[in-house]
Chains A and B, each alone.
Chain A
Amino acid sequence: MTLDLFMLDPAVALDLCRRLVAAAVALSGLETLSLFRALRPGGSLARPSLRRHLLLATSALRFVVGVGLATALIAPSWHLPALVFLLAATWWSHASLAYGNSGADPMIGVVLTALIVGELVPDSELVQKMVVVTIAGHATIAYFTTGLTKALDARWRSGVYLHTTANSRIFGRSGSLLTDPRHAAVASWIVIIFELIFPIALLDPRAAVALCVAGLLFHLGNALILGLKNFLFAFAATYPAIIATAGLVSWWIGI
Chain B
Amino acid sequence: MTEIVVAALLIAWLIVTALSQIPQFQARAPWNRLCPSWMLFVAPLAVFDIELETRTDGGAWRPVVPPHIRWWERPWGVTLRHRKVLTDLTHEIIKTRRLGRDAALASGAHAILLDMVRHRHPDAHQFRLRTLLEPWPPERSRVLFLSDPIPTESA
Contact = CB atoms under 8 A, between A and B. Distances in A.
B116 A46 contact: yes
Contact of B48 (A99, A110, A117, A164): A164
A156 B133 CA distance: 16
A130 B6 contact: yes
A170 interface: yes
Interface in A138-165: 138, 141-143, 145-146, 149-150, 153, 155-156, 160-161, 164-165
Contacts of A41: 115, 119
Contacts of B84: 99-100, 170
Contact of A34 (B34, B78, B109, B133): B78
A72 to B, nearest CB: 25
Interface of B is mostly: helix
Interface in A115-139: 117, 120-121, 124, 126-127, 130-131, 133-134, 137-138
B132 A172 contact: no
B39 interface: yes
B34 to A, nearest CB: 6
Contacts, number: 154
Nearest to A32: B76
A126 B1 CA distance: 11
Nearest to A98: B108
Contacts of B6: 117, 120-121, 124, 127, 130
Interface in B76-113: 76-89, 92, 108-109, 112
B151 to A, nearest CB: 17
A217 B85 CA distance: 27
Interface in A179-219: none
Contact of A169 (B49, B108, B116): B49
A146 B38 CA distance: 6
Nearest to A46: B115
Contacts of A43: 67, 116
Interface residues of B, number: 56
A142 B38 contact: yes
A121 B48 contact: no
Interface string B1-22: 0111011011101100110010
Contact of A172 (B34, B80, B108): B80
A46 B83 contact: no
B150 to A, nearest CB: 14
Interface in A44-70: 44-46
A229 interface: yes
A170 B80 contact: yes
Interface of A: 30-31, 34-35, 37-38, 41-46, 91, 98-101, 103, 106-107, 109-110, 113-114, 117, 120-121, 124, 126-127, 130-131, 133-134, 137-138, 141-143, 145-146, 149-150, 153, 155-156, 160-161, 164-165, 168-172, 227, 229
Given A99-B112, A130-B11, A149-B40, 4 more contacts: A31-B77, A110-B36, A126-B3, A134-B10
Interface of B: 2-4, 6-7, 9-11, 13-14, 17-18, 21, 32-34, 36-42, 45, 48-49, 66-67, 70, 72-73, 76-89, 92, 108-109, 112, 115-116, 118-120, 132-133
